[in-house]
Structure 1
Amino acid sequence: MKHYFIAHKLFLLFLAKFFLTYILLTVVYQLYLGGFQQNQIDGITQLVSQNTQQLMRVLDMDVLVLKDKGASVMVFYKQKYIARIIEGCNAISIIILFVSFIVAFSGKIKPTLLFICMGSLVIYGLNVVRIALLVVLLDAYPEQTAVWHGTIFPLFIYGVVFLLWVLWVTKILDYAKKTV
């Protein structure tokens, strides 16, 4: 058994750092969400909704976001109800996944923290763009809701996260060159 741990030390260390970071950040986020009442929108989801509205208005689109009776924000586009934004739409779970991987493959503290901050901002910004595009596409092609929301946009956002991971490991962390 000891030989197994020695032989796979780096992999096991990676897994431990990944899962510990993921669990810690998830618990912190759940504690944050626990501070809100059942029908209250958390601040991050509210901010994502406002940023989506701001982006669409900058692009001269007729959009309005309003708090729903529940814990969601209704999105009106061209004066008709198109979608609602809920806590799961704010990309925090995706950012937690991203951060966990970067910490698990961490290098020096300063570049690691800088990449976590920059990558998280990229994911957040692309999520706002994703929601705005989704609103426009749901208006134009409502019969394709499942395709847009359930397939295309998850592939897009997770694809970006994957590319950020590859960038981190191969270019910034330079891990590939160190192991060859």
Structure 2
Amino acid sequence: MKNIFQQHKVFFIFLAKFLLCYFIVTIVYSFYLNQCHTQNNEIDGITHFVAEQTKNTLVFFGADCEIFKHEFEPSYKVIYNSKYIARIVEGCNSVSVIILFATFIFAFSNKFIATFLYIFLGSILIFILNIFRIAMLTTGLYKYPEYGTFLHDILFPLVIYGVVFILWIVWVLKFSAYAKEKK
């Protein structure tokens, strides 16, 4: 058993760092959400910000768009050209994707400043990309409602997770402790 650990030490260290960080950050985020949702079924501030920025993005590009707080659940209704097209819920705010991205980077970290900057800049990129994703998804659902499942469940997750995957690859090959060992 000791030989297996020694043989795969890098993997086990990565796995331990990843799981520990993911667990801690997810617990903290869950506490944040519980604080928001237990107060009269309110919507958390991050989801509110994403909904507002999605509306602003669509309006900037000439769309007639409004958002309204849903009457029965913690979400926003997206009204596009006077038609209820979509709703923005907590799962749309990209925080869970950012947590996954950041914990992976942390698990391959070696220098605090480089790790912090990469996580910070990558998180901003993912967050902005997510707002554009929701805006494009809203437009796509309006123009092509028959492709709604494909757009929501396949195409747009593929885009956002594809960018996260590319960011991971760049980190591992260019900036991580692993990349330094290979040079």
Query: Could you state the TM-score of these two structures normalised by the residue count of structure 1?
Result: 0.96
Structure 2 counterparts to residues 18-167 of structure 1, below 5 A: 18-37=18-37, 39-69=41-71, 70-167=73-170
**Whole-Å separation in 2 of the counterparts to 1:177 and 1:106:** 11
**Whole-Å separation in 1 of the counterparts to 2:174 and 2:145:** 41
Count of aligned pairs between the two proteins: 180
**Whole-Å separation in 2 of the counterparts to 1:172 and 1:3:** 29
**Whole-Å separation in 2 of the counterparts to 1:94 and 1:26:** 11
Query: Could you state the TM-score of these two structures normalised by the residue count of structure 2?
Result: 0.94
**Whole-Å separation in 2 of the counterparts to 1:176 and 1:110:** 16
Q: Structure 2: which 5+ runs fail to align?
A: none
Q: CA RMSD in A?
A: 1.3
1:55-83 CA distances to partner (integer Å, 9 max, x unpaired)?
A: 11111211101111110000001111100
**Whole-Å separation in 1 of the counterparts to 2:138 and 2:179:** 40
**Whole-Å separation in 2 of the counterparts to 1:7 and 1:62:** 59
Q: Structure 1: which 5+ runs fail to align?
A: none
**Whole-Å separation in 2 of the counterparts to 1:133 and 1:108:** 37
Identity within the alignment, %: 48
